Amino acid sequence: MTSENLVYFIALPLFSSALLMLLGRKADKWGHIFATLVSASVFVIGAMEFLAMRDRPEESRAVTQKLFTWISVGSFNVDAGLLLDQLSIAFVLLITGVGTLIHIYSIAYMSHDRDRRRFFSYLNLFIAAMLLLVLGDSYLNLYVGWEGVGLASYLLIGFWNQKPEYATAAKKAFVANRVGDLGLSIAIMIAFANFGAVSFIGIEEKVGGASETALTAMGLMLLLAATGKSAQFPLQAWLGDAMAGPTPVSALIHAATMVTAGVYLITRSNFVFDNAPNAQLAVVIIGAITLLFGAIIGTAKDDIKKALAASTMSQIGYMIMATGFGPAGYAFAIMHLLTHGFFKAGMFLGAGSVMHGMNDEVNMRRYGGLAKLMPITTITFGLGYLAIIGVPPFAGYYSKDKIIETAFNAGGVQGIIFGSTALLGAIITAFYMTRVMMMTFFGNKRWADDAHPHESPFLMWAPMAVLAIGSVASGYLLYSGKAIVNWLAPVVDKHHHEHTELLPPIVVSALAVTAVVIGVGIALAKYRGELSATAPQDVSIFTRVARRDLLQDDANEFMFMRPGQKLTEVLVKTDDKVIDGMVRGVAASTIGSARGMRKMQTGYVRNYALLILLGALAAFVAILVVTL
């Protein structure tokens, strides 16, 4: 593979982030412009790389760069290197493209915040870390980026940390991510123990010689990592609370890019999963559970951002499920990831725009009838809405339809179960998204008394418009002529598997569209009339459970937090009494012997000389004993 200079991708945003932090208030005036320009220039570099890559023949598209040898001890060799191939360039364009739009949006959105410069500094830190994540050529380098985006996410969720509940949300995200990260680090250890390598290429070469048990274990650990970062079951609980961060952050990190890192991880590790069918099945199951889980939570949320967050969880469930189908599904997972990046980021920015006009109100029951006053927001949000529920020919139709088709094509009972799950998910998606649409933009006005809704400024709606165009067109562009499938094939489908088709595509499409119609129909019937400004309390047990996020926090509290607290109590006691006792004992005896030995240091030269003489004599005796 050829070598090329790729370090700019990471160095530029990292440098700008550091600069903004170091300069402090001095950079307040121009920091946001500078950060945006840096992000835009990285996007331009990415686009140029993409065009150059497209012009190269397929086998020489991937390029690498070795940065430096980080550790080199005996046979243990870790290089810090970058790898830009067909898969990573897709992410690079998504991250920097959507990232730049969100930078532009944030200039206006954050204009009243006195810490805007710090916000942009964190944003660029995130971009640098995310690019490192997708450009690292080994699991270890990916891990650095993985932790980096975790840190950036933590800083940004808690950006308004003067509110204690926001700081708690940041902490919750951090803890859930740590659990996932543990999976990643164990996976790296398994890889190193079995292959003696941590680079993607190194492992791929040796994957044939490994036992299936090892590969399954590694696959499950990678899946654990993915569930943490991508808010999948059972580590999904943090994503809803992460909405405490500023809305542009929710759009960029918690919708378009960082939360999809799990999908990237599994796709990147295709050589592991393709040889570990059990791990693959686990991936599909987790994806299927989450796509329903998220969709159901989405039906009950009145907080617009939390409803969108639940939807993100559900959509990523689709992607994860698709990756579990192996070479047949990777390309569609990535395709859905890209289209989702457009429409979900666009809808989050739309939600931000609504909040901007409604005094930061997030409760949809206090919205209603905003379409007339915020026409641009309504249209851009509406296009995203059509895309996510999968109305042809909008972006989501192509990508989601393909995933449903792949699920059915898995064959047998599995195919029917997972295909139906995906269809059911599509119905619920259409339902809850229509609900959001209706409650926000249509129906009766239920505003707070001091609300004066108004359209957002140009800097805010322009990025929304660009993303809306993406929501419309990206699906067809990626789908036509199997563009994305062929593009990614050298990375994820090297052996050109023949994919069986159990149901003709037209049938699946018809089913999917029917699902959309059913979901939209139910929602229209239910949310068409007048709504009250407060949530009804006399609801069924199911609604109540859904409103409580399907008891995810209660489950965590019951299963982990309480036992955890008990365990810590016991541990603290043991630590105090037993371990500290032992340590104190050892320390005391060490100090005791230190005092004893110290007495030999009398200060008299004669004693020292005697000590030297005795030492020499002892050496003589020792040598004589050894030699004789």
Partner 1 sequence: MIFNSPALEYGALAPLLVIFGAAVIAVIVEAFVSAKLRPALQLAISLGAVILSFAQVLRLRGTQSATAAVNSVVVDGPVLFMQGTILVLAFFAFLLLADTDAFAAQASAIPGSSEERTALQTGKIQTEIYPLTLFAVGGMMLFPAANDLITLFVALEVLSLPLYLMAGLSRRRRLLSQEAALKYFLLGAYSSAFFLFGAAFLYGYAGDVSLNAIRDAVSGGSNNEAFLLIGMISLSVGLLFKVGAAPFHSWTPDVYQGAPTPVTAFMAAATKVAAFGAMLRIFYVALGGAVWSWKPMLTAVAILTMVVGSVIAIAQRDVKRMLAYSSVAHAGFLLTGVLALSQEGLEASLFYLATYGFSTLGAFALVTLVRDSSGEVTDLNRWVGLAKRSPGVALLFTTFLLSFAGIPLTAGFIGKFTIFTAAYDSGNIAVVVAGVLSSAIAAFFYIRVIVMMFFTDAQDDTVSVTIPSLYTNLTIWIAAIATVVLGVFPTPVLDAIASLAVFVR
Residue 567 binds partner 1 (CB under 8 A): no
From the CB of 628, what's the least distance to partner 1, in Å? 10
Please say which residue, 507 or 583, places its beta carbon nearer to partner 1.
Answer: 583
Q: According to DSSP H, which parts of 301-374 are helical?
A: 304-324, 327-357
From the CB of 383, what's the least distance to partner 1, in Å? 49
Cβ-contact 352, 311 below 8 angstroms: no
Residue 568 binds partner 1 (CB under 8 A): no
Please say which residue, 572 or 621, places its beta carbon nearer to partner 1.
Answer: 621
Task: Report the residue from 57, 74, 481, 536 that binds partner 1 according to the rule CB under 8 A.
Answer: 74
Task: Report the residue from 68, 112, 496, 532 that binds partner 1 according to the rule CB under 8 A.
Answer: 68
From the CB of 199, what's the least distance to partner 1, in Å? 17
From the CB of 161, what's the least distance to partner 1, in Å? 24
- Amino acid at residue number 354: V
Tally Cβ neighbours within 10 Å of residue 410.
23
Residue 591 binds partner 1 (CB under 8 A): yes
From 9-17, 66-74, 304-312, 502-510, span contacting partner 1 (CB under 8 A): 66-74
State the Cα–Cα distance between residues 302 and 309, nearest whole angstrom.
Answer: 12
β partners of residue 259: none
State the Cα–Cα distance between residues 535 and 225, nearest whole angstrom.
Answer: 36
From the CB of 151, what's the least distance to partner 1, in Å? 17
CB burial string 470-496: b at 16+ within 10 A, e below = bbbbbbbebbeeeebbebbbebbbeee
From 65-73, 140-148, 196-204, 485-493, span contacting partner 1 (CB under 8 A): 65-73
Residue 75 binds partner 1 (CB under 8 A): no
Cβ-contact 487, 86 below 8 angstroms: yes
Helix axes 458-479, 86-109, angle to 10 degrees: 160
Residue 72 binds partner 1 (CB under 8 A): yes
Please say which residue, 52 or 610, places its beta carbon nearer to partner 1.
Answer: 610
From the CB of 18, what's the least distance to partner 1, in Å? 16
Residue 587 binds partner 1 (CB under 8 A): yes
Please say which residue, 510 or 609, places its beta carbon nearer to partner 1.
Answer: 609
Give the x-and-dash track for 595-624 against partner 1 (CB under 8 A): x-xx-xx-x-x-xxx-xx-xxx-xxx-xxx
Query: DSSP secondary-structure letter at 196?
Result: S
From the CB of 454, what's the least distance to partner 1, in Å? 49
Give the x-and-dash track for 497-536 against partner 1 (CB under 8 A): ----------------------------------------
Whole-angstrom CA distances from 215 to 182, 233, 271, 287, 431 are 17, 22, 9, 20, 40
Applying CB under 8 A, what is the total number of residues that bind partner 1? 34
Please say which residue, 541 or 597, places its beta carbon nearer to partner 1.
Answer: 597
Please say which residue, 507 or 591, places its beta carbon nearer to partner 1.
Answer: 591
Please say which residue, 281 or 616, places its beta carbon nearer to partner 1.
Answer: 616
Whole-angstrom CA distances from 402 to 5, 280, 408 are 36, 18, 10
State the Cα–Cα distance between residues 277 and 5, nearest whole angstrom.
Answer: 37
Q: Assign 3-class secondary structure to 548-560.
A: CHHHHHHHHHHHH
Structure tokens at 402: 């393909």
Task: Report the residue from 51, 57, 73, 452 that binds partner 1 according to the rule CB under 8 A.
Answer: 73
State the Cα–Cα distance between residues 8 and 90, nearest whole angstrom.
Answer: 17
Give pairs for 402-406: CB < 8 Å, separation 24+. 402/332, 402/335, 402/336, 402/479, 403/318, 403/319, 403/321, 403/322, 403/329, 403/332, 403/333, 403/336, 404/508, 404/511, 404/512, 405/503, 405/505, 405/508, 406/322, 406/325, 406/328, 406/329, 406/332
From the CB of 588, what's the least distance to partner 1, in Å? 11
From the CB of 74, what's the least distance to partner 1, in Å? 8
Q: Where does 43-157 show beta strands of DSSP type E?
A: 63-73, 76-84
Contact set with partner 1 (CB under 8 A): 68-70, 72-74, 587, 590-591, 593-595, 597-598, 600-601, 603, 605, 607-609, 611-612, 614-616, 618-620, 622-624, 626-627
